[in-house]
Structure 1
Amino acid sequence: MFLDQEEISKLEDRYGRPREISFGEIKMQEDEFDLLRRSMEGGRAHDVTIFTFVKGEVVVIQKPSHPPKVFRAPGGGVEPCENIEDGIRREMYEETGLEIEIERYVLRTMVTFVRDTERRDWTSHVFLASKVGGRLDPKDTEEVAKARLVSSEKLLGGIRDRMLESGRGGLIYRAKLTDAFFEEVNRQGYIS
């Protein structure tokens, strides 16, 4: 992982120490594990995930590889030598067209993705943010098919069910991460 620990500590000082959760091992299908391998070239073993609420609804994206009606919170990798906060803002803008202000560092989730005998450790840094500008209009249309708003009930209901039923380890992980995010923000009273 090429995220700087000192910079992560500064994020914790500024946005709060996140709850840490391990999801253990999650099996992946061959095509998604190959994508994971490629994304880890150069030492990357992380993503930043950003939950943003607009008028009471959650900003979500659909990737071209997602099954129909499956959406998740935006996010991606911080580039080498990129400031983490700049990377968070860049990912959100590229995937949604929105400009954000980071509010809370909510979760740090760990998982080991498994395919046959191969294992890859992964960490997600999960943030709560607010919209300060822009409009829903993905800029990176190769990575993102759609960006939209959904109610938390839909995200935790039918969308979550489709993620779990997909049989795809990455989507199963995203469903668990989303559950943990809402549990934590409700427990801490970060959103009403």
Structure 2
Amino acid sequence: MNDTPQQSLAAAARARGVALSALSRMLGRNQAYLGQYVNRGSPRVLPERERRMLADFLAIDEALLGAPPPPGDEVAVPWLAVRAAAGTGQVPDERVLRTERLPRAALRGAGVAPDAASVIAVTGDSMAPTLKDGDRLLVDANARRVVARGGIYVVRRGDAVVVKRLVPVGDAIEVRSDNPLWPVERVLPDDLAVIGRATLLLRRL
């Protein structure tokens, strides 16, 4: 039996160690708001804005909080737990946290097949000003070959995952950062594993 949105919210809050009253204040509501939602069913349905804020903060799929299935013109793209570091890298954790609803037209315009798409978050400043800390990237897992003109890729190097600009140079690949304060590295293709190419920047204003 599936949990109700109220039960899912309460369980996610407990797992995160945060009180419903604190989450209510985060939403700009009085501190009893989510307690009433969980215990009394009022409001009956969370507004979309609040549902999204809670899903983002608690790192859960918005569908657990009562979001309707995506309409036919949208695709539920998996959001991976891994944060691709624009810097020295982080140990990958490639669980699917939740899904991000994207228009089919956006995926089509980016040339990404729905079954090859995923969303990750960026952390760090090595790719600034192109990428900012907290930006989200649409990654195409079918685009793992580094093209001659170069591009921005999500790459696994050892135990770390990074987002860098890769440019082929002879038999090697230059690993570049858009931030000029970071050095350029030259590595052999076998020294890194390309997860996919970043095809679309998803930045919330």
Q: Which structure carries more relative contact order (alpha carbon 8 Å, separation 6+)?
A: 1
TM-score normalised according to structure 2 size: 0.22
TM-score normalised according to structure 1 size: 0.23
Larger Rg: 2
